[in-house]
Amino acid sequence: MTTINDVAQYAGVSKNTVSRYLNNRGYISQMTREKIHNAINVLQYHPNQIARSLYSNRTNLVGLVIPDVTQPFFSTMTACIEDQLDRKGYKMILCDTKDSSSKEKKYLEMLQENKVDGIIIGSHSIDIRYSDISAPIVALDRNLADDIPVVSANHEQGGRIAAQAFIRHGCKKVIQLVGYTKVRTPSGKRHAAFGEEMMKHGIACHTYELGLNQFDFDSYLDVADMILDRYPDLDGVFASDMVALAVQKRALTRGLSIPADLLVFGYDGSFIYKTAYPPLPTIIQPYRQLAKVAVSVLMKLINKEKVDELSYTIDVKPSMQEGGI
């Protein structure tokens, strides 16, 4: 097995210089860097990550904790966060809790035992004291604790943009399907804003709350059947994309015309909304910007730098389809 001594000898430099190159510490001339880089490639040297971690007090690992990677919002966020971490020289450990609080607790213990440099958390557990975790944390669209920075979309803006579509469409009776309200999340602002706009324009607005970590599409179909049965004169539905698509599917099987009879409006704007027919108007969350800010804030915490604030909000935008409503 090739050692750091072999690399130093091949490159004609000291072991300490190779070590500084590997850990990006101190000044090294470009010529020396090229010699070491060439030696590493020729000898196929693979640094001992454990030794490097002990030397630098860093593992260059970040944990990402989410409730369900099969959900389009979380899978899209996962891809964007991984890309941003890679740009910073970090590797990501994905922890998919499968909606289990006990599983999340085990994951959090594992991440701390493996000395990850930081954690990004977007899970929906309500019985975990996140402020007790020693590693730096950034919350993704969750209010985990008063001292943990949270990065989210501008949900209030999104709720108002969506509301305007229902107003322009001439809706008289709408329903919005919301997530489990005991989960503290900035996304609640979009529903509050939407409801305010409906009330302001004299539009009847009902609210149905989904269960904790309710992500199964079949359960969304059941909810769709329930609301269509309960509100036969409904002419508008506002929900996250997957729920909205379930409602649209059930409405079409009942012979309703979309959007003439029922305006179905989504929220999230991941790849999934593009698969719908008729097209699903939706609010697109700024996935890349959310990932970029979350990783940037986490890097500051890892480097023990002061963060500018504890809440970061990024504007959303309507899909192209929305413009035609």
Note down pLDDT in tens along the chain; length 325 residues: 788 899 999 999 999 998 888 877 788 999 999 999 999 999 988 776 555 554 556 788 999 999 999 999 999 999 999 999 999 989 999 999 987 889 999 999 999 988 899 999 999 888 899 999 989 999 999 999 999 999 999 999 999 999 999 999 999 999 999 988 888 899 999 999 999 999 999 999 999 999 887 888 999 999 999 999 999 999 999 999 999 999 999 999 999 999 999 999 999 999 999 999 999 999 999 999 999 999 999 999 999 999 989 999 999 999 965 444 5
CA–CA distance, 258 with 256 (Å, rounded to integer): 6
Q: Is the dihedral of CA 102, 180, 235, 230 positive or negative?
A: positive
Contact call for residues 137 and 118 (beta carbons, < 8 A): yes
Peptide bond before residue 67 is cis, with ω within 30 degrees of 0:
no
- In DSSP terms, 63 is beta-bridged to 93, 119
Q: 3-class SS at 70?
A: coil
Report pLDDT for 88: 92
3-class secondary-structure state, position 271: helix
pLDDT of residue 55: 52
User: Which pLDDT score, from 0 to 100, does residue 52 have?
Assistant: 54
Q: What type of residue is 179?
A: G
- What the block records as the tokens of 203 is 């539009």
Q: Phi/psi of residue 318, each to 5°?
A: -80, 155
The predicted structure's pLDDT at residue 322: 46
| Eight-state DSSP code of residue 102 | H
What is the distance in angstroms between the CA of the first residue and the CA of the last residue of the chain? 65
Residues whose CB falls within 8 Å of the CB of residue 140, separated by 6 or more in sequence, listed in order: 66, 77, 120, 121, 122, 150, 151, 152, 290, 294
Q: What share of the chain is helix, strand, coil (3-state, %, to 5)?
A: 45, 15, 35
Closest among 136, 126, 129, 67 to 95, alpha carbons compared: 67
Q: What is the pLDDT of residue 53?
A: 55
Q: Is the distance from CB of 239 to CB of 251 less than 8 angstroms?
A: no
If one counts every other C-beta atom within 10 angstroms of the C-beta of residue 286, the result is 18
Question: What pLDDT sits at residue 323?
Answer: 44
Q: Encoding tokens for residue 272?
A: 């999934």
| CA angle in degrees (0–180, nearest 5) for 241-79-84 | 125
pLDDT of residue 23: 73
